[in-house]
Structure 1
């Protein structure tokens, strides 16, 4: 068992608190939809609207705090919305763009080689950047750092050049601060919408080194907390939902008045 009962209770409480905060701060849309109201009921439409709002913020409002709670069971340092830094060597910044340009022509990403290129490009002037934040930062007892950018289950394929650039810049910024840093920069996708089929990696291939820059569903959660955490986490969400069901029903029943 990867999580103790106490840890499971703590994670369930994190989930419950996140949802309660969402209820507290949620402002329903005041769209007048008389046909829909008569057909489905205001409470069901309110629930649908709430779900749409929740899905757009699930990463920051649910997955990030849950990831922090899970990672604290295994890692020495854990932080959400981690400030990576705001400066990078000019030669390193140029190397990032050269790598991106190369991938657009011949899509053969290799993160190990890319990091080596960045390491030997720590020269030139120091350029200031807009402070960059990683959704999740974890560090092992040996000082190995992992920076995650949490994405939706079906990310926009057209944006992955920018995502790749962000991952490389995070590494460059980290090396600018400490050339000997052991850093890994990755995309994390909390669940696989295609399950039980494999995740459709073809949408990400070409820019990302799928072995070194991507963790999806079980791979992500088990990495954070240990083998078996993904299934245990699903149970935590289910138990939190059972606990909150009366509150959820009461909240949406108010929309029928």
Structure 2
């Protein structure tokens, strides 16, 4: 893809995302908050902006990643990554041991050995396959599932300002993906990454700005930041800068001004 191809996909995705958010928000009746009695306009604007920020994962980053990848030769898998209905004891014990070890100081496991240990224990299911699978519980699924050349890629986008609880949950999620996938496809190949779509502290490394340097999540091997993900999807170097340009161009063109004005006016 050329830069213009990428920019068009980005612009179309941003515009659709904002328009859909506004359409859905205008249908909702605002709930009363006590600060409405003191600063009603400011409180409601904050609510709108907060809602828009919170929706970006599913309304913008996820469809954008899929759209770019689809144009770069990836198969976008539109289904859930299923987990065993009853997790076998050997696999369950391995997963729990890894989690406990990775959350402790000076543990034996790292990202690579965690992945290998899970795949190794799942080799037992070649001979005795698991016959019942179900959707994983909320928060443990895959947002973006891509496939190319026999490799399955699992991604989930997260807030760019994660706390310790979020980071611990991210590790659980990646380890869970491997246990789900290999329990059903022990001979397959999977790569799982948590995605932080941009760096909110561009003056320094993303990981230097995150609590504990991101632990227990391992940078790059279990989490990608900014262009580590966007360039992978698009096959083009510097994709995040194109995304930023698209935002600037949309603002300068006024393409979303009417939509945003209506959204704000309805809530003031």
TM-score interval, normalised by the smaller of the two chains: 0.7 to 0.9
> In the alignment, does 2:176 pair up with 1:169?
yes
Partner residue in 2 for 1:212: 221
1:105 match: secondary structure: coil
2:83 matched to 1:86? yes
Q: Please state whether the residue corresponding to 2:145 is helix, strand or coil.
A: strand
Asked if the contact 2:9–2:64 (Cα under 8 Å) also holds between the matched residues in 1, the reply is no
Change (3 A) 1:161 1:233: same
Separation of aligned partners in 2, 1:252 and 1:171: 43
1:11, CA displacement in angstroms?
2.8
The question of whether the paired residues in 2 share the 8 Å contact of 1:134 and 1:148 is answered with yes
Per-residue CA deviation, residues 102-127 of structure 1 (Å, 9 max, x unaligned), is: 22333454222122211221237749
Aligned length: 248
Q: Distance in 1 between matches of 2:192 and 2:213?
A: 15
Residue in 2 aligned with 1:229?
A: 239
Residue 65 of structure 2, aligned match among 52, 57, 67: 67
Contact 2:45 2:267 in 1 (8 A): no
Partner of residue 111, structure 2: 111
Aligned-partner SS, 2:221: coil
The residue correspondences of 1:86-235 to structure 2 (distance < 5 A) are: 86-87=83-84, 89-108=88-107, 109-122=109-122, 123=124, 126=130, 130-132=134-136, 133-140=141-148, 142-199=149-206, 200-225=209-234, 226-235=236-245
Residues 153 and 191, structure 2, Cα contact 8 Å, conserved in 1: yes
Residue 237 of structure 1: CA displacement?
2.4
1:31 is displaced (CA, Å) by: 3.9
Question: What SS class does the counterpart of residue 143 from structure 2 fall into?
Answer: strand
Structure having the larger proportion of residues in strand: 1
Instruction: Mark the runs of 5 or more structure 2 residues left unpaired by the alignment.
Output: none
**Cα drift, residue 164 of structure 1:** 1.4
Q: Equivalent residue of 1:121, what SS?
A: helix
Measured at CA, do residues 211 and 10 of structure 1 come closer, stay the same or move farther in structure 2, by a change above 3 Å? closer
Q: Which moved more, 1:199-208 or 1:149-158?
A: 199-208
Contact 2:194/2:224 (CA < 8 Å) preserved in 1?
A: yes
Contact 1:29-1:49 within 8 A present in 2 as well: no
TM-score, normalising length from structure 1? Answer: 0.84
Alignment check: 8 A CA contact 2:142 2:156 kept: yes
| Contact preservation (8 Å) 2:145, 2:153 | yes
Q: Do the aligned partners of 1:71 and 1:78 also contact (CA within 8 Å) in 2?
A: yes
Q: Structure 1: which 5+ residue stretches go unaligned?
A: none
- Aligned CA-pair RMSD: 2.5
Per the TM alignment, residue 253 of structure 1 is displaced from its structure 2 partner at its CA by 3.3
Match of 1:58 in 2: 56
- 1:243 paired with 2:260, answer no
Change beyond 3 A, Cα 1:254–1:76: closer
What secondary structure does 2:103 align onto? helix
